Amino acid sequence: MSAGNSGKNDLFEDSVSGFLAPVKEFLDDPTVSEVLINGPEEVFVERGGKLEKTSARFRDEQALQSAVRNIAQFVGRKVDDRNLILDGRLPNGSRVAAVLPPCSFKGTTLSIRKFGTKVPKFVDLINWGSISQDAARFLDVCIFLAKNMIISGGTGSGKTSLLNVLGSRIPKDQRLLIIEDAKELKITADHVVFFETRKADVDHPDLPEVSVRDLLKSALRLRPDRIVVGEVRGDEALDLVAAMNTGHGGSMGTTHANTPFDALVRLETLAMSGGTKIPEQAIRRQIISAIHVVVQIKRLDDGSRKVTHISEVHPELDGSGKYIVHDIYRFVQRGKTPEGKIIGELIPTGQLPSFMEEIEVNRMPFPKEKFTPPEWYLELQKKRMKDAA
């Protein structure tokens, strides 16, 4: 970190101690991942994936708004009667979002998403039970073979964290361009360049906005080997898909969706949202040839975050023009502990990836047998078929 940055961080720490004093203990507590303030009288925190109500309170709405104004200053924005929404990243890397009254009913709503100082690696995800060792290795294979991947999941499911892990596995000799709305990713690579959008600034109305789409178009002229888009949530989906189809294999992005199939539908909707003249069926065809693998991550009801599907996108549409996805790995729940912890495994379904030959030709240490489902799963399938008959 540069001296300038750490100076800004110190200043922020000092001012946080004052304005955010009622929640400072949670901001300092490494077991808390998110602080959620719903007006001055209600503070929740997320710990171990679960929300807990706390007894913390702000003195009044004014004190809470002062804190938000102070944060806005560090983020380079302004909140006032005309600007009721704040979205940004703090000097310490935390992500903040706030909505002020009258748009927010209980008083100012503020959420602060903290990121651990340590960026997780595959080994951490394996130790936390978020992914199996074999599935992690399979994703490594996909990255090595430059498969284009989309990480799909609901809000706060762990998409960005997983993208950090996957992005950091990209072969070191490749030039990686990363485009984000607000910089969050901490991908470590030898040759990586980060880009961040520029939002409208009330103090500098003459400065034009720079969108993810603008950055993506420029990135293509900057000789990328691979492109990473932190979150695909607008019409840049069309440009990302085009980039993936034109020789930038191994590109990645995340999107909000609940299943791998829905992720493709979501990308299609986003791609169409810019008013493109390209017909729907043509966009679908571009999507299926661009995206090879969808990794689905979910926050389960016991608070854990788990990869629930690793699916391959079939490069053809079905008879009625719909997407076909094949699950190569799927999370199967087998029970619950008395404490409510979900017991289950991310297992191969028996479906071989269409690029099995590529895996073998490249002598990757991932033999066909790895895709054989465990015995218990085959028994379970047999039982289900018998019960259904």
Ligand X SMILES: Nc1ncnc2c1ncn2[C@@H]1O[C@H](COP(=O)(O)OP(=O)(O)OP(=O)(O)O)[C@@H](O)[C@H]1O
Q: Which residues bind ligand X (CB under 6 A)?
A: 33-34, 113, 115-116, 125, 128, 130, 153, 155-161, 305
Residue 155 interacts, among ligand X, Mg ion, none and using kind-specific CB cut-offs from 5 to 8 Å, with ligand X
Residue 152 interacts, among Mg ion, ligand X, none and using kind-specific CB cut-offs from 5 to 8 Å, with none
- Amino acid, res. 308: T
Distant-in-sequence contacts of 111-114, Cβ < 8 A, 24+ apart: 111/34, 111/35, 111/36, 111/37, 112/23, 112/27, 112/34, 112/35, 113/33, 113/34, 113/156, 114/27, 114/32, 114/33, 114/34, 114/35
Tell me the closest approach of the beta carbon of residue 155 to ligand X, in angstroms: 4
Tell me the closest approach of the beta carbon of residue 229 to ligand X, in angstroms: 13
Tell me the closest approach of the beta carbon of residue 309 to ligand X, in angstroms: 15
Residue 157 interacts, among ligand X, Mg ion, none and using kind-specific CB cut-offs from 5 to 8 Å, with ligand X
C-alpha separations of 288 from 141, 142, 245, 312, 324 in Å: 20, 16, 10, 10, 9
Enter the tokens of residue 219: 């990135």
Enter the tokens of residue 239: 């440009």
Tell me the closest approach of the beta carbon of residue 49 to ligand X, in angstroms: 6
Compare residues 33 and 311 and give the one whose CB is closer to ligand X.
33
Compare residues 20 and 151 and give the one whose CB is closer to ligand X.
151
Query: Contact between 130 and Mg ion (CB under 5 A)?
Result: no
CA–CA dist 282, 259 (Å, integer): 22
Say how many residues touch Mg ion, by CB under 5 A.
2
CA–CA dist 23, 262 (Å, integer): 37
Compare residues 8 and 121 and give the one whose CB is closer to ligand X.
121
Enter the tokens of residue 290: 């661009």
Answer yes or no: are the C-beta atoms of 54 and 69 closer than 8 Å.
no
C-alpha separations of 234 from 211, 237, 264, 270, 318 in Å: 10, 6, 14, 5, 26
CA–CA dist 120, 246 (Å, integer): 31
Residue 343, beta-bridge partner list: 335
Return the residue nearest ligand X (CB atom).
158
Compare residues 34 and 239 and give the one whose CB is closer to ligand X.
34
Compare residues 153 and 348 and give the one whose CB is closer to ligand X.
153
Residue 292 interacts, among ligand X, Mg ion, none and using kind-specific CB cut-offs from 5 to 8 Å, with none
- Amino acid, res. 147: K
Compare residues 108 and 160 and give the one whose CB is closer to Mg ion.
160
Tell me the closest approach of the beta carbon of residue 160 to Mg ion, in angstroms: 3
Residue of 229, 255, 52, 253 lying closest to 154 (CA atoms): 255
Query: Contact between 65 and Mg ion (CB under 5 A)?
Result: no
Tell me the closest approach of the beta carbon of residue 204 to ligand X, in angstroms: 27
Query: Contact between 161 and Mg ion (CB under 5 A)?
Result: no
Residue 7 interacts, among ligand X, Mg ion, none and using kind-specific CB cut-offs from 5 to 8 Å, with none
Residue 44 interacts, among Mg ion, ligand X, none and using kind-specific CB cut-offs from 5 to 8 Å, with none
Tell me the closest approach of the beta carbon of residue 237 to ligand X, in angstroms: 16
Query: Contact between 255 and Mg ion (CB under 5 A)?
Result: no
> In what helix (H) or strand (E) does residue 265 lie, and over which residues does it extend?
helix 260-272
Query: Contact between 160 and Mg ion (CB under 5 A)?
Result: yes
Please, is 173 exposed, middle or buried when counting C-beta atoms within 10 Å of its C-beta (0-12, 13-18, 19+)? exposed
* Binding-site ranges for Mg ion (CB under 5 A): 159-160
